[in-house]
Amino acid sequence: MAYLGRGLDKISNIEVLDNITFDGSSSYSITKGSVAFTPNSAQSCLISIDGVVQATNFTVSSSTIDFGVAIPSTSTCNFFLHYGTGVMTVPSDGSVTPAKMDLSQNYTFTGKVSGHNYPSFLARNNANQSISPNTNTKVTFGTEEYDTDSAFASSKFTVPTGKDGKYFIYTKVQQDCTTNAHLRLKIYKNGSEIGQTFTALTDNVEFTSWNGVIDLSASDYIEIYILQNSDGGGASRDVLTNGSLLYTFFGGYRIGD
């Protein structure tokens, strides 16, 4: 198991190390329970020799302390202490909650931070799409603006494994039309309609839009359909595109559990 901070041999804030038996040398091994012990630093150590507390007047390298001068064999080590900050196991995925963070602070993260707003995607159409009248037709979105989890393909968003939750879904369709036409924009989940908007088309170009929150589980998928008609049976009409502009688009993102 990996750890943050010091190792298990330094689990408490204050460690009582083995007293040193001096032999006239300047360097000595540091041990705890007769096992080699590596301090955080020389500044973390406090040692008493012949009743005089020593601090910062020695160096530490790995598990060796060097006083810089020979310590007579007649001298006595009264105590040897190590001060630290304890140990903490690496938290498991998803276990760090707001209660364990100081939310009054500004944190700087490097790399991508994945949170409730992922997965997230936005796609648009990249060519006019001819729509026959009085027919439910799936809208084609051929260009991805972004897709954080590679979950959008074939004009369909599919929830990745482990990303169940509530999703905010939004879409807009812009269509060439004639006066007295109607356009129904439909939201499909797993092949069945779950919502729609209705627009009475009264100009040469009209649009309709929809947005809402949907509960989704892994492998659920969302698609966009339209149904258009006009007086007298009507004719095929185009769902419009305009270069890189968002005339007709489909997007969404996860907002929570």
Summarised one tens digit per residue, pLDDT across range 190-224 is 999 999 998 876 666 678 899 999 999 999 999 99
**Residue 14 pLDDT grade (very low, low, confident, very high; cuts 50, 70, 90):** confident
The pLDDT score that the predictor gives to residue 198 is 85
Spatial separation of the C-alpha atoms in residues 87 and 15, rounded to whole Å: 13
Side chain identity at residue 3, one-letter code: Y
| 62 shares its domain with 160 | no
The pLDDT score that the predictor gives to residue 174 is 84
| 143 shares its domain with 200 | yes
| 45 shares its domain with 157 | no
Most confident of 84-93, 126-135, 171-180: 126-135
Work out the mean pLDDT of the chain and round it to a whole number: 83
Nearest to 200 by CA among 173, 178, 171, 170: 178
| 130 shares its domain with 27 | no
Q: Which of 9-18, 82-91, 224-233, 237-246 has the lowest mean pLDDT?
A: 82-91
Residue 110 lies in a domain: no
| 82 shares its domain with 162 | no
**Residue 67 pLDDT grade (very low, low, confident, very high; cuts 50, 70, 90):** very high
3-class DSSP state of 232: helix
Residue 101 lies in a domain: no
Residue matched to tokens 């905010």: 168
**Residue 109 pLDDT grade (very low, low, confident, very high; cuts 50, 70, 90):** low
Q: In the listed set 88, 109, 144, which residue is the last one of a domain according to the structure?
A: 88
Residue 97 lies in a domain: no
Q: In the listed set 65, 88, 111, which residue is the last one of a domain according to the structure?
A: 88
| 131 shares its domain with 228 | yes
Nearest to 121 by CA among 39, 222, 228: 222
**Residue 235 pLDDT grade (very low, low, confident, very high; cuts 50, 70, 90):** low
The string of DSSP codes covering 67-126 is -SSPPPTT--EEEEEEE---EEEPPPTT---GGGS-TTSPP---SPPP-TT-SEEEEE-S
Nearest to 20 by CA among 85, 61, 66: 66
Each as own residue / partner, the long-range contacts of residues 113-118 (CB below 8 Å, 24 or more positions apart, any chain) are 116/165, 116/254, 116/255, 116/256, 116/257, 117/253, 117/254, 117/255, 118/148, 118/149, 118/163, 118/253, 118/254
The pLDDT score that the predictor gives to residue 183 is 82
Spatial separation of the C-alpha atoms in residues 15 and 226, rounded to whole Å: 71
| 130 shares its domain with 252 | yes
Residue 104 lies in a domain: no
Residue 45 lies in a domain: yes
- Asked whether the predicted pLDDT for residue 175 surpasses 50, the reply is yes
* 176 or 74: which leads in pLDDT: 74
| 81 shares its domain with 158 | no
Residue 34 lies in a domain: yes
> Using CA of residue 23, residue 26, residue 27, residue 30, what is the dihedral sign?
positive
What CATH number did the domain enclosing 194 receive? Answer: 2.60.120.40
| 33 shares its domain with 154 | no
Cβ atoms of 252 and 120 closer than 8 Å: yes
* 97 or 44: which leads in pLDDT: 44
Residue 107 lies in a domain: no
Q: Which domain holds residue 15?
A: 3-88
Spatial separation of the C-alpha atoms in residues 11 and 212, rounded to whole Å: 51
Tokens read off for 238? 């185009």
Q: Residue 108 CB: number of other CB atoms within 10 A?
A: 4
| 36 shares its domain with 128 | no
| 54 shares its domain with 135 | no
Q: In the listed set 88, 103, 131, which residue is the last one of a domain according to the structure?
A: 88
Most confident of 9-13, 154-158, 225-229: 154-158
Spatial separation of the C-alpha atoms in residues 176 and 205, rounded to whole Å: 5
Stated pTM of the model: 0.56
The pLDDT score that the predictor gives to residue 1 is 44
* 233 or 129: which leads in pLDDT: 129
| 183 shares its domain with 74 | no
What total of structural domains would you count in the chain?
A: 2
The pLDDT score that the predictor gives to residue 91 is 63
**Residue 43 pLDDT grade (very low, low, confident, very high; cuts 50, 70, 90):** confident
3-class DSSP state of 238: strand
Most confident of 103-107, 111-115, 218-222, 229-233: 218-222
Residue 218 lies in a domain: yes
> Using CA of residue 34, residue 36, residue 42, residue 45, what is the dihedral sign?
negative
